Amino acid sequence: GEDVEQSLFLSVREGDSSVINCTYTDSSSTYLYWYKQEPGAGLQLLTYIFSNMDMKQDQRLTVLLNKKDKHLSLRIADTQTGDSAIYFCAEIPISGGYQKVTFGTGTKLQVIP
Amino acid sequence: GAVVSQHPSWVICKSGTSVKIECRSLDFQATTMFWYRQFPKQSLMLMATSNEGSKATYEQGVEKDKFLINHASLTLSTLTVTSAHPEDSSFYICSAPTDTGVYTQYFGPGTRLTVL
């Protein structure tokens, strides 16, 4: 089955950029997502990218996709303390109908004031 | 974006009782909803796929008689944890897919279940 891996922890200083990395194994066309989870809360969809794209930018967020290496990254510019949370990458293979989401292990981002 | 709500947000119950958790899509219809379980500091584990008007599909290792799912309408799915035990204590999250040109899933805020 699909496997999605992330580093567990990242610590950055406020104002710096954060880069959260993710690797996946599915080789078919797929949607790739980044979700944010604050303590005790559900998941908030941040952004997504389709596997035929290389990059997507949305305000402070930049998603980079290296399809050859199956590597996905989320860059947060000017990281703020409110960005402290757990970030999950997720993929959904496209093969018709509703597909199951495979989540990464989650990366806890700690922003130091 | 689309909104998915859950009720209750947290519940404490005694061992042996049953607990019902509701998942609602507030501004869209969802023929399919998903139920996840999340243990502390861990990722989400898919428990089952809830299908409106038909039986739920359970993931391997999830007891269907333990976790009863009912998807009675296009906006409501319920998960009932029957005869709950302390090991059932967890964070339960539902999600519903929407198709607005891009396939995405929107998640509920989660329900914290504590079984004493």
Separation CA A29–CA A105 (nearest Å): 21
- B43 vs B7 pLDDT, higher one: B7
Q: Residue A60: is its pLDDT beyond 90?
A: yes
pLDDT-derived band of residue B20, with 50, 70 and 90 as boundaries? very high
Q: Residue B113: is its pLDDT beyond 70?
A: yes
CA dihedral sign, ordered A50, A51, A57, A61: positive
Percent of chain A with pLDDT over 90: 58
Q: Does A34 touch chain B (CB under 8 A)?
A: no
Contact A45 B108 (CB under 8 A): no
Q: Residue A28: is its pLDDT beyond 80?
A: no
Residue A5 in tokens: 């891996």
Q: Does B8 touch chain A (CB under 8 A)?
A: no
Q: Does A28 touch chain B (CB under 8 A)?
A: no
Choose the closest CB to B97 out of A42, A48, A98. A98
- Which pLDDT tens digit goes with each residue over A63-105? 999 988 989 999 999 999 999 999 999 988 776 555 678 889 8
Choose the closest CB to A42 out of B34, B103, B108. B108
Q: CB of A89 within 8 A of CB of A72?
A: yes
Report the residue of chain A nearest B105, measured CA to CA.
A45
Separation CA A60–CA A101 (nearest Å): 25
